[in-house]
Structure 1
Amino acid sequence: MVKTGIHDWFGYRIDNEERFKLIREAGFNSVLFWWGDEYADYVGDKNFLPGLARNAGLEIENVHAPFYKTNLIWTESVDAEDIVKRYAQCIIDCSNHNIPTVVIHLTNGDTPPPPSLLGLDRIKYLVDLAEKKNVNIALENLKRPEYLQFVFQNIQSGRLGFCYDSGHENCYSKGTDLLSMYGNKLMALHLHDNDGTGDQHRIPGEGTINWDIVVRKIKKTTYRGAVTLEVTNEFSEMYSDISAQEFLKAANEKIKMLFI
């Protein structure tokens, strides 16, 4: 049986308890969270979210660490340690909440600073912490996939792996075949579609991704977690004017159909 998951934000402003109830009623098994405080005025204290989701019958697949100023991790900036501390706190929070994986960005934007040994040492520190806390770090593909290669070539750990973002590959690095390169390290999925011109987070089938190929490659990996969507109705041309219930049902039916 295919287990499915979805990011708890999918484009509709709904009370947290109702949100998780609707997600579960649509047939999803798990959720992933944004693990920052930027939206505290709306979602409240993020530390309450895991309990609310579990009360609704959902598992927690992973959390997404904030990536504001993440490029500093490669530099000698005095603020770089703040980024390390932020990521370290995400790892600690995952351990405290019994969440298996934190998803991390290695870069942000089009022109990050070059990869450095200093940055690598900081990532090694985070991996060491993750090993001690029994938490996985999944590095997400972005605009510059060579940073993944740099880290994976220099750090080997059962707690360090890959988060495959289908939308990012399609609009930022089409043709790189990241699942063939890092499928043996796959720890998390961010599945969504786009037309190749931008990061639109559409339901699969509403873009130009060849899902037959993507699904086949995912099935060849050792990944056994939920097939997890990171979609919203905000840039959709097919699903923008429907209710939250209808959107969730359509999303879950589509991803299940692809992976059955």
Structure 2
Amino acid sequence: MSVLPLLGLAIPSRLLPEFRDLLLDDYRDLELQDFFDSKLLNGDWRDVADHAKVQLEGYQGRLGIHGPFWGLDIANPDPDMAALVRHKHLQGLDVCAHLGATQMVVHSPYTTWDYNNLDDDKGLTRHDRLRENCHHIMDAVVRRAEELGVTLVIENIEDKDPDSRCLLADSFNSASVAVSVDTGHAHYAHGSTGAPPVDYFIRRAGNRLRHVHLQDADGYADRHWPIGQGTILWNSVFAALAELTSEPRLILELRDKTAIRGSIRWLQEAGLAR
């Protein structure tokens, strides 16, 4: 990156009026957080989306959503659950089509347990079966994403190995499947399970990386603290990001939305982002 990267934000649509000025400042990337809620997807999501469209009039930045994830394993081996997981992600893409969103975050299927057990079989390994299950569920979702021009970005959750979900993304052989790094999740895995540090997750993703959730944490839990309040080494994170040409969306995903502006200032004052 030749200039400092531009920070985006993740907020629910009800907060769009409060952050409209930030969004129109260089058209920061936006991730809407309403549509991971399965109850909403089964209900009046179009009313929420239409309200968001009104609030976003004049906005020309890159728009995405966080897809559904609660209780949804994109490699679920149960055929009944597989159909449900596929359906929920297709509902998320319906939202993208309605909004004109070009990116949807989905959750990695890899767990801490998987790290120690996926290679513990002869012949067809658990790795192979997990990947087959994921394709059984997500192939139709990927085809729909391709039709819509939406990129699905697979976010690390419990991932201890930075490479597994990258290889899973590659296995779809589609420009509509890429990788996300959540800095707090990576820092949790580093501090609590012995995973590499956050900057390693970014470097190992390389130009597959199209999305980053920026949050600070302590290496113990998924804190979503303001930037600067945890123990993530941000200089190393942004040094790794500077090596990329994929221009990932850098999304501040904070629990306290009132801390978004302060986190932007912190990174600006550190000379890392704008």
Q: 1:249, 1:150 → 2: CA distance?
A: 35
Cα 1:109–1:44 shift into 2, 3 Å = farther
Equivalent residue in structure 1 for 2:82, among 80, 83, 94: 80
The CA deviation at 1:17 is: 4.8
| Runs of 4+ off more than 4 Å | 22-28, 38-41, 108-114
The CA deviation at 1:227 is: 2.5
- Counterpart code for 2:267: I
Residues matched between the structures, number: 244
Q: 1:49, 1:189 → 2: CA distance?
A: 26
Q: Which residue in the other structure is 2:153 paired with? A: 138
Q: Which residue in the other structure is 2:122 paired with? A: none
Instruction: Verify the 8 A CA contact 1:28 1:252 in the aligned structure 2.
Output: no
For residues 98-152 of structure 1, the C-alpha deviation after alignment (integer angstroms, 9 at most, x for no partner) is: 1110000133865579514132232222222211211101000111255404513
Equivalent residue in structure 2 for 1:6, among 2, 6, 9: 9
Q: 2:173, 2:14 → 1: CA distance?
A: 41
RMSD across aligned positions (CA): 3.1
SS at match of 2:9: strand
For residues 184-241 of structure 1, the C-alpha deviation after alignment (integer angstroms, 9 at most, x for no partner) is: 111111011111111101122211111111101111112325422111239xxxxxxx
SS at match of 1:209: coil
Q: 1:117, 1:39 → 2: CA distance?
A: 29
Mapped pair 1:117 → 2:115: no
- Counterpart code for 1:168: H
Cα 1:4–1:150 shift into 2, 3 Å = closer
More displaced stretch, 121-130 vs 185-194: 121-130
Q: 2:248, 2:169 → 1: CA distance?
A: 21
Q: Which residue in the other structure is 1:186 paired with? A: 209
More displaced stretch, 43-52 vs 201-210: 43-52
Instruction: Verify the 8 A CA contact 2:10 2:32 in the aligned structure 1.
Output: yes
Within a 5 Å distance, the mapping from 1:14-53 to structure 2 comes to: 15-21=14-20, 23-24=22-23, 29-34=28-33, 35-37=35-37, 45-53=47-55
Q: Which residue in the other structure is 1:258 paired with? A: 272
Q: 2:143, 2:46 → 1: CA distance?
A: 31
Cα 1:175–1:183 shift into 2, 3 Å = same
Q: Which runs of 5+ in 2 are unaligned?
A: 119-125
Cα 1:39–1:211 shift into 2, 3 Å = farther
Q: Which residue in the other structure is 1:158 paired with? A: 175
TM-score (norm 1): 0.79
Instruction: Verify the 8 A CA contact 1:20 1:52 in the aligned structure 2.
Output: no
For residues 37-67 of structure 1, the C-alpha deviation after alignment (integer angstroms, 9 at most, x for no partner) is: 46869x9943135414413747353211121
SS at match of 1:224: coil
Instruction: Verify the 8 A CA contact 1:6 1:28 in the aligned structure 2.
Output: no
The CA deviation at 1:36 is: 2.9
Q: Which runs of 5+ in 1 are unaligned?
A: 235-243
More displaced stretch, 149-158 vs 93-102: 149-158
Q: Which residue in the other structure is 2:250 paired with? A: 227
Q: 2:27, 2:226 → 1: CA distance?
A: 14
Cα 1:20–1:249 shift into 2, 3 Å = closer
Q: 1:193, 1:28 → 2: CA distance?
A: 24
Instruction: Verify the 8 A CA contact 2:82 2:137 in the aligned structure 1.
Output: no
Q: 1:24, 1:258 → 2: CA distance?
A: 19
The CA deviation at 1:29 is: 2.2
